[in-house]
Structure 1
Amino acid sequence: MGRIQKRTFKEQRYNPLGTSTIQGAATTVQSKEEVPALIKKLGSSDANDRVWAAASASNLLVSDDPSTRRLLLANNVVSALIERLSDSVPEVVVQVTGALHNIAAIDQGAAEEISRRNIYAAIQNLIPRLAKSIDDIIKQKDEKKQINGDERKLVFLTTDNLISILWVLCETVPSSLRQINDMALSPFLVSFFSVADKLPSSLVQTAGQFLFTLTDDNFHAKRALLSHPSAVGILMNAAHIKQSDISLSADDLAIIRILAGGILANVKPTALSMLEKQYKHNSDGIPADVIKPWDDLSKALLQVISQFIEFDVHVAAIQAASSIKTNIGLRAESVSNGAESIANGSDNEIALGQLSSRISYVQMALELAANIFTDEGASDADAAVGENIKDKNLRDEEEPVSSDDDNNDGNSDGNDENDDDADYSDIVDEEEDVEDKDNTGFDQDDMDDVLADEDTIAKKADEAVQNSILGVFINSIIPSLQRLAEPTKMTTLATALNECSVLVNGDGDSGSSSLVASVVEDFAALNERALGCFNNFLLVIEESIKSWFLLHKNSVDHWWRFLIAIAEHIFGVDAAPEELSKLDQRLRFSVLEPAFGCMWTLARGVGGSVPVTPEHIKGFIHICGTAPNVEIRAKIVGVLGNIARRQPGHIEENQHIGLYLLEQVISKPLLAFSGSSGNSMTDDDDDDISVEPIVEAMDMLFDIYSDMAFDYDEPVFVRGDFLNKLRQLYIPMRKLAKTIDRRRNKELRDRSDLVVQNLRAFIEYKASERKI
């Protein structure tokens, strides 16, 4: 639950270097002795040897042979490459930066070593030279002078690679952030946005993505950017620039606008805080012309995002499969002619790289939309509800006080504290009675009045929502989320391998299956991000305007059926071959987890009243039993628990779910743990006994069977002897809670302790309810 997480790893590009492989550069090594010789050539006096060695290192570091990579790293290739960053020959530098970026992007250990070897000083020395070269190129272009195309290309590629190296280190090596902050890169990175149409779009986008990552949850970087006198103005202009004002494609322009807006969104809270301090002595606060650009930013961003994410995943999947099949055919033809592989940078690989890049940008746009909505949509929702509740309270205050209230005030014994406690208890009881529609002690006329008021408040809040960030999100973003979340033929490995005619077992081509797997990861990640963004929306609505679900019950039912279809597709297709089984499972559940998160929120929002069938319930239970992590099992338990609360007329489904939660999710692992000889719990134990699902299932049982008046309570809870079974689980649950290390997992320990307290109280309550 909660906000989706930022991406934390820069994916390898299909042609990471961005330049064609040097003719004759090594792609394999035949013996260990070749590696030291190759690294020695990096220091050769012959520039051609240095270029060849750097290109060879780049190829070998990203080859499918991990032993060669380890051999290169063991022979200090990282140090040798960093040393060559100061090379006077641009062709050497571009190959070296490409090699360093490649290995940092795919190997966490290598990224950490690059950071330890202090690459920052070498890059810091290069940046002024590159900045001057870029400035000269732009000026020369303005003056229509003849420019050496190859020289420009080398400058741009080297700059792109250097920024990419820092970006990877920023995302994968936490300790690198201090050194990167000290480099004071904001002026350099922001400057790309002011001349976006005079530079390669890929370079501007790389600089923007790095700055977006750098300013996320990094106060030092935010302050550094805001202290740059023209940074905000440049980014504001870029965020609002129109197609008619710049010679870029619609997609490139949208990406630049999204990146500029995303960076501004990152620094917005800090910027507003600084403005408040600046104008604290101004009686009118921050001037309207100063605050307006910040106020308008979010809506403008959501509008451009909504257009950019109109992306047909099914057409993209067909195109990806076609490129892979063509690539496989070319590779087979090349091998049959005696070559080891086809040349890098083929049209099909370029097409796949462009598709991967587009998908990653759509994911980033969704992340940004989710963050904007979570940060500002919640405030809008709270304001919409607050205004309407305020109106209702004002109306209530105008109503005359009843004689009973007057009598109660007159009979006070002077103990104000006790009176306050009594009044508070009455309020709590009254609220519980309103929620309990079966409470026979509540007058039906009063109930109708309360429901009418709540319905009025909900409708007015809904109207207010339409004119807010929520309204923009609902009308502009939500429709695309469903399209982006739809599984395609490239969403699961089994269907993708079949679509691309790739065999894995027997005579299969491992290179082809790896290519298919990388594309499937892109599509699965897009499905996952779209569902995560959708759940952010649902969580904000649940927190602020829960009645919205009931007002839009038809939409809830539609989304529920859609999510069920996703689960059936993802979990129902054949498994991938054994060689890819681990990856296959990880990718399937990476999509299923946010799908069940959405189901859980929907089910909570409508009190379990979703269009579920007995077959769905059996499917949930089956997936819960096979899910690889506790997070998804806890979500499924939450879904099942809310479905079990439906009444009247769902006794059989309640019994099915209740028995499963009590016997399989709670009793089986708890009793096994209680019978073990260990007195402490490791991380592995935590996974084995599924602590979070146990806690969630306990909480759900408390809610499901909280009242003997529920139609399923007597036939399921009483006849099923649930109370005695829970009594037997009290000691094991208490034992389990005490073994959770509070320092390592405070939230889970606190929740577990609370469950123990509530379990004891629940047992006492249910025993007294029927005097059992």
Structure 2
Amino acid sequence: MESPDPAERKWACVAVSNLIQNDPSTRRLLQGKNIVGALITRLSDSEEEVVVEAGGALRNLCIDGGYDICAEMYNKNILTPLKTFIPKISTTLSQFLENPKTSPENAQKLVYEFADNIITILWCLSETSNKALNAINQIALVPFLMSFLGSRSKLPVSTVTSAAQCLYVLTDDNWPATNELRTNGAYTACLLSIVVPDEESLKANGIMRNIVPIPPPSIASTVDIDRDIVLPTLEPVLASISTAEASQRAQELIAQEDSIPEIQKLSLKNALKMDHRSPSEIELERLERKLKTVQLALEILTGVCATLPDPEPPVEEEVGEEDPERDNDDEDMDQDDPDMEDDENTPDHADKQATSAALPSLVAPLLSLIQPTPLSFPPISGGLSPHPPTTSVLSAIHIRALECLNNVFLSLASPARSQNQNVDRGVQKDSGVKIWEEVWKALSAVGTEVEGPGQESRRDMWQVAVGVLWGIAVVWKGLLIPQEEQVKILMQLCESAADVNMKVKCIGTLECLAQHPESIDANRVISNYFLTLIPSPTRPTAAPAEPLLQALSALIDVYSDENLPYDINFRQGDYLAALAASVEGVRKAVRGIDRKRERELRRRGEEVRDNLVAFVEYRRGLRL
């Protein structure tokens, strides 16, 4: 790379690109030899072809190496040479667009590929740290990137897509870029005009979501971005691919690649040409790109679902009764801000409700996308996947689809939605059971061995899926028949989980299953488990505060109607005595919650404590 011969410098950069792709050990070895610093130096090389190949190698390092590599690049001042390329690329791009026939096709291709590489590096750096993002904000990238989207019909799709991705990252909770875009009517009009359901348009939709609300007089200010643009674009993308078929095709291509003799592979890698990939590698890359389009669609849909009306009801303070354990000087913290309320008559509320109503139609394709394939995870026995890039994107698709389902069912389980759907629940019981079974089918394929090296995606699947199960169980509460194996898995998961939120989700799901009227045995098993999570005279400290409160609230909710068939468990198991004996331990646990640091949890703890006291008195009064 330091040779006086420019051809040697060029092919040294090409060699680095080849060596690092999907090979973490070689990449780490080269990192130890300061390959990042050497490549950044080559960005200032006197030969254009060396600069282009160095840019390509750095781009591959960014994508394959992740945050650590990007942080190293930023610390070694990669932005200094990158900044000089922006005006040069802009000038050359304008010349190509004005007089395309005067420039050789090879020269144009070289510039477009180089622009793609530089843009990709900038977007990866933007995700590295706030320090890097703030430095990139000073480069004024928005006009540069929008020029690619504005001329998209005359430019290569890959370069335009990279520009859109970079804008998507830059406008994610980043005020300078967001404000520059939303206040420029030409930019918002350009984004609105990209409506074809491909990766390019999805990113444009994602950018539009990032910059709303858009002020007048832009035409975009009158459009409901989610309902009118984003959701209609997402639906065909989600239905455009079968992950099972994609996995099968990838395996066929991997087999084809493995069947190529080593000597032929060497000749391909060493060929003096820009594209040193076999036909099977090119098709694998194309398949991966299609899967990443679906992943992006799910990422945007997750954002749409996350802006739905809050499913949690507001906590109402009782008037006229003071809590003896509440500090008087904290009263000002509990005042609600009237300006923050979501008025049901506002247009924004109506838009959210309309968007929420459209989401159930997406459940079927989402259920299809959560099902694992043979390539979705690395082998449990250890080692690498046969094709890590495909495995990475497949597992990301499953997790994103679960996140979407989680938000959909949070919306459907909200009190307002539930009241409107009580009449329909019985009719829709079969669909609820089918959804429930499909999620468990996916989890069965994931398996419970999730603690080995490289199994992070399996753990993430369970983490998100239990939230989905809870949402489904709330919507069809009392209609889902608890299965012994499922109940056992949820209890084991609750016990083994280090994450408090995971424990709470398991308890919430079990609570709903316990309310199936005819499942008396399952109700007893679940309730006895809940009793192990609450304090007793012999066990003053049971579960952490949040799971404890969830289990206590669950027991109160499950046995709030003494006329249900399973209430016999409450009487025969002497649950009333156990709950009465837990009161002092619960009071102590609630007092232990820091009111200032964990305000909402303390408030909820006080509410559950009061409910417990009232519930014990109520059940005693029944004298059953």
TM-score of the alignment, normalized to the shorter chain, above 0.5: yes
Going from structure 1 to structure 2, the CA distance change for 1:575 and 1:623 (only over 3 Å counts) comes to: closer
Give, in whole Å, the separation in 2 of the partners of 1:560 and 1:595.
16
Flag the 1:230–1:750 CA change in 2: closer, same or farther, 3 A.
Answer: closer
- Identity among equivalent positions (%) equals 27
Task: Write the distance in 2 (CA, Å) between the matches of 1:564 and 1:80.
Answer: 54
How many angstroms does 1:312 deviate by?
A: 1.9
Paired residue for 2:399?
Answer: 528
Post-superposition CA distance 1:573-610 (Å, at most 9, x none):
7778x9x93333x3233223333222211222233322
Q: Secondary structure at the match of 1:104?
A: helix
Partner Cα separation in structure 1 for residue 292 and residue 251 of structure 2: 18
Change (3 A) 1:57 1:638: same
Q: How does 1:616-635 map to 2 (within 5 A)?
A: 616-625=486-495, 629-635=499-505
Aligned partner (choices 698, 720, 732) of residue 573 of structure 2: 720
Q: Tell whether the 8 Å contact from 1:196 to 1:204 is kept in structure 2 after alignment.
A: yes
Counterpart CA distance in 2 for 1:732 and 1:630 is 19
Q: Check the 8 A contact 2:371/2:441 in 1, yes or no.
A: no
Q: Partner residue of 2:212?
A: 268
Instruction: Tell me which of 246, 262, 274 is aligned to 1:334.
Output: 262
Aligned equivalents of 2:230, 2:491: Cα separation in 1: 41
Q: Call closer, same or farther: CA 1:72–1:731 in 2, change over 3 Å.
A: farther
Instruction: Kindly indicate whether residue 551 of structure 2 is the aligned counterpart of residue 697 of structure 1.
Output: yes
- Tell whether 2:237 aligns with 1:308: yes
Q: Please give the alpha-carbon distance, in whole angstroms, between the structure 2 residues aligned to 1:517 and 1:575.
A: 22
1:683-721 superposed Cα distances (whole Å, 9 cap, x missing partner) = xxxxxx6664344223322322345555434x3334324
Give per-residue Cα distances to partners, 1:318-354, cap 9 Å, x unaligned. Answer: 1112112222333xx317x896997762222222222
SS at match of 1:483: helix
Cα pair 1:85 1:96 within 8 Å, conserved: yes
Aligned match of 1:599 in 469, 492, 497? 469
Q: Work out the CA distance in 2 between the residues paired with 1:59 and 1:734.
A: 63
| 1:76-99 Cα shifts (integer Å, max 9, x gaps) | 433332232222322212222222
Q: In the aligned structure 2, how far is the partner of 1:527 from the partner of 1:338? A: 33
- The answer to whether the Cα contact below 8 Å between 2:120 and 2:166 also exists between their aligned partners in 1 is yes
Describe the shift of the 1:73–1:318 C-alpha distance in structure 2 as closer, same or farther (beyond 3 A): closer
User: 2:337 maps to what in 1?
Assistant: none
Within the candidate set 245, 250, 257, 1:320 is matched to 250
> Structure 2: which amino acid aligns with 1:116?
N
Take 1:761 and 1:137, find their aligned partners in 2: how far apart are those partners?
73
Q: Is 1:519 matched with 2:448?
A: no
* SS of aligned partner of 1:607: coil
Aligned counterpart for 2:304 among listed residues 348, 367, 372: 372
Q: Does the 8 Å CA contact 1:570/1:588 hold for their aligned counterparts? A: no
Describe the SS at the equivalent of 1:197: helix
Task: Find the residue that maps to 1:770 and give its secondary structure.
Answer: helix
Q: Report the equivalent of 2:444.
A: 571
Distance, in Å, in 1 between the alignment partners of 2:584 and 2:35 is 58
**Alpha-carbon spacing, 1:527–1:667, altered in 2? closer, same or farther (3 Å):** farther
Q: How does 1:17-416 map to 2 (within 5 A)?
A: 41=1, 43-62=2-21, 64=23, 66=25, 69-70=27-28, 72-105=30-63, 106-141=65-100, 144-145=101-102, 147-228=103-184, 230-239=186-195, 254-269=198-213, 271-272=214-215, 275=216, 290=219, 293-295=222-224, 298-310=227-239, 311-330=241-260, 333-334=261-262, 345-375=277-307, 378=309
Secondary structure of the residue that 1:581 maps to in structure 2?
coil
Code of the aligned partner of 1:528:
I
Displacement of 1:185 in angstroms is 0.7
Aligned partner of 2:507 in structure 1 is: 637
Distance 1:466 1:131 in 2: 40
Greater shift after overlay, 652-661 or 44-53? 44-53
Separation of aligned partners in 2, 1:471 and 1:735: 43
Q: Match for 1:762 among 609, 612, 615?
A: 612
Q: Retained in 1: the 8 A contact 2:189–2:220?
A: no
Find the aligned partners of 2:459 and 2:20 in 1 and give their Cα distance: 30
**Inter-partner Cα distance in structure 2 for 1:671 and 1:349:** 61
1:485 alignment partner, one of 361, 370, 387: 370
Deviates more, 1:625-634 or 1:695-704: 625-634
| SS of equivalent residue, structure 2 residue 375 | coil
CA contact (8 A) 1:90 1:154 kept: no
| SS of corresponding position for 1:515 | coil
Q: Classify the secondary structure of the residue corresponding to 2:223.
A: helix
Residues 153-180 of structure 1 deviation map (CA, whole Å, 9 limit, x = unaligned): 2211221111111111222323212111
Between Structure 1 and Structure 2, how many residues are aligned? 579
Deviation at 1:137, TM superposition (A): 2.2
SS of the equivalent of 2:525 reads: helix
* 8 Å contact kept, 1:366–1:530: yes
Letter of the aligned partner of 2:462 in structure 1?
L
With over 3 angstroms needed to count, the CA separation of the structure-2 counterparts of 1:729 and 1:58, relative to structure 1, is farther
Residues 39 and 58 of structure 2 are in contact (CA less than 8 Å); yes or no, is this contact kept in structure 1?
Answer: yes
Moved more, 147-156 or 129-138: 147-156
Q: 1:640 to 1:673 in 2, by over 3 A?
A: same
Q: CA deviation at 1:56?
A: 3.6
- Aligned counterpart, 1:581: 452
The residue that corresponds to 1:650 in the other structure is 519
Larger radius of gyration: 1
Counterpart-to-counterpart distance in 2, 1:74 and 1:466 = 51
Counterpart of 2:202, as a letter, is: I
8 Å contact from structure 1 (residues 184, 224) kept in 2: no
In structure 2, the partner of 1:388 is none
2:428 corresponds to 1:546: no
SS at match of 2:452: helix
AA of the residue aligned to 2:443 = I
Structure 1 stretches lacking a partner, 5+ long = 1-40, 243-252, 276-285, 383-417, 423-463, 498-503, 675-688
The answer to whether the 8 Å contact 1:557/1:610 transfers is no
Do the aligned residues in 2 keep the contact of 1:596 with 1:635 (CA within 8 Å)? yes
8 Å CA contact retained: 1:541, 1:548: no
